[in-house]
Structure 1
Amino acid sequence: MAAGTTPAPSTILNDWDLPPLFRRSDQWALRHQSESFKGVRTHLVVLLLATAAAMLTEQATGRIMAACAAVLYGATILLGLTTSRRRSRTHWQAHRAVAELVKTLAWQYMVHGGPFHSGVKDPDALFAERLEERLRELRKCGWEDSREKAQEFGKGQITAQMRAVRAKSYAARHDIYLRDRLLEQAVWYKNRASRAHRAAARWSAFTAALTLLALTAALVGTTGLIGGVDLAGLLSAAAAAGVAWQEVRRHGPLTHAHSIIEQDLEAARVAMSTTVTEAGWAEAVEETERLMSPAHTEWLVRFGG
């Protein structure tokens, strides 16, 4: 395959050909991720409403607004305690780590990559050993193992399609990996970087507009036209909530991280298409899989922030 040539789309492998544990962990990760973001978003909105109610207390007659502010602040505290107790973010990250672990082990097993090179006498036993060893570590980090039947452990996670791919020739495995794994992931990271970049731009513009409005309100407030309402304070609180939401979603750092990974994967695809030989294949696959690991992404996010 020539450098720069884009492999044709493939229908050889899909998620149903990977270990069942991958699909289950992926679904749980998405569920916990949604819960985590929803909890933070609700927390910020209720806190902002409580701030607005508190600011309007002095302008309202009676104690209605004061009572509303007290109730909303109380709800904010309860939401914080509930979010802390549910540990959605911890469970999300643990299940995502398991999903990616299972996926990368499955791909290395199928294409003779990393420790599953062609010289391994019993790749099935090695797969089971590596999988269960890593899962024992991740249980301590919040991963919930829902497997109950004996056939769901170890070798039971190796599907028939995985064995079929492993039995193919080097040329066939080479083509499948570049097309179904490398190209698919490069496109995924490229799309995610674009989405994160657009989201970062929208939220940056939104918070900048709120900050400008707060500044305008503060200047107008000095003339006494607004009365006793602290509109500048409310707008500033809204802008702060927007900044906090951006920090939670990490749009900017993720744009940086995903763009770098996409570029590295494209470079790896070109190298594995042209210069990597069968002798260096296992090592090249292992290094490529490292680029797609959650740990590598998190490392890039830290420096991209």
Structure 2
Amino acid sequence: MRTQLFVLLAATTAAMLAERLDSRAPAVAAAVLYAGSIALGLHIARRRARTHWQAHRAAAELLKSLAWQYMVHGGPFHSRVPHPEALFEERLEARLRELRKVGWVDPRNGPATRGAGQITPMMRAVRSKPFEVRRDIYLRDRLLEQQLWYKRRASQARRAAALWSSVTALLTLLALTAAVLRALGLLEGWDLTGLFSTAAAAGVAWQELRRHRPLTYAHSLVEQDLDTLRVAMTTTVAESGWADAVAEAERLVSPQHSDWLGTFGR
């Protein structure tokens, strides 16, 4: 998408030059660039790399979440469940079957790497530890790590949003200045209004594509919710309510939750 925006901007520049220069070269360049933009659009429409990437990311996050819940007796893998490994296999394979429908390709070879075969000795060792140890491991290595990650991402998205908003505002101001000068007869020859307007539109399109503001909103909310939950799980959540608290934490850090919050940050 970024490449297509730059190609369109270059085509607009070439078209503007074609109006002012006594040469066919800019016009030919503009035609080639516009054709290239169309070709890029068709290529992007057919390519499913983004979809595949999202499916594999979802599979990785799913496995990570189930592994943590299994290790610390969270969610459905609470201390009273009779066969946690069988439940782990059932939940994992059921979710992966859904992901296969949207492009996930199973890289595992043989039954030993499927279902319960994904449970490592370290996961079993953590699950066998006392509640206090499991709690501290989860709060330190999962919840705090995720909280800091969302805090960093919110900060990055905020800086990117500010940068691109400034660039777009500057380009819009330049377009306005060029239009006023041309209307007053102070700018003859080159029509820079169209060029600056196109560049500003490309900046707006890039912001929409990257979703800087929605991501800032979503990641900030998740970071705040995780901080509140981490304090509660450290101080007030007893072992009887631990499984539900872990399930809530995993819901907060799921990509689906962030995407849902992002729809309200526009």
The TM-score by the shorter chain falls in which range? over 0.9
> Is residue 2:223 matched to residue 1:262?
yes
Alignment match of 2:70 (pick from 109, 130, 134):
109
Q: What residue is the counterpart of 1:201 in the other structure? A: 162
Q: What residue is the counterpart of 2:44 in the other structure? A: 83
Q: Which runs of 5+ in 2 are unaligned?
A: none
Alignment match of 1:161 (pick from 122, 137, 140):
122
Give, in whole Å, the separation in 2 of the partners of 1:157 and 1:86. 31
The residue type equivalent to 2:242 in the other structure is W
Give, in whole Å, the separation in 2 of the partners of 1:223 and 1:126. 75
- Report the more deviating stretch, 211-220 or 222-231: 222-231
> Is residue 2:146 matched to residue 1:185?
yes
> Is residue 2:214 matched to residue 1:253?
yes
TM superposition outliers: structure 1 runs of 4+ over 6 Å: none
Q: What residue is the counterpart of 1:303 in the other structure? A: 264
Q: What residue is the counterpart of 2:91 in the other structure? A: 130
Alignment match of 2:19 (pick from 58, 68, 86):
58
- Report the more deviating stretch, 223-232 or 77-86: 223-232
> Is residue 2:230 matched to residue 1:272?
no
> Is residue 2:199 matched to residue 1:238?
yes
Give, in whole Å, the separation in 2 of the partners of 1:70 and 1:93. 35
Give, in whole Å, the separation in 2 of the partners of 1:256 and 1:133. 32
Q: CA deviation at 1:143?
A: 1.6
Q: TM-score when scaled to structure 2?
A: 0.97
Alignment match of 1:289 (pick from 238, 250, 255):
250
Give, in whole Å, the separation in 2 of the partners of 1:85 and 1:177. 42
Q: TM-score when scaled to structure 1?
A: 0.85
Q: Which runs of 5+ in 1 are unaligned?
A: 1-39
Q: Report sequence identity in percent.
A: 66
Give, in whole Å, the separation in 2 of the partners of 1:256 and 1:85. 31
CA distances 1:97-133 after superposition (whole Å, capped 9, x unpaired): 1111111111000000001011112211111111110
Q: Please state whether the residue corresponding to 1:288 is helix, strand or coil.
A: helix
What does 1:221-232 align with in structure 2 at a 5 Å threshold? 221-232=182-193
CA distances 1:246-296 after superposition (whole Å, capped 9, x unpaired): 111111111111111011001101111111110111011001110111111
CA distances 1:225-259 after superposition (whole Å, capped 9, x unpaired): 43332211110100111111111111111111111
The residue type equivalent to 1:139 in the other structure is R
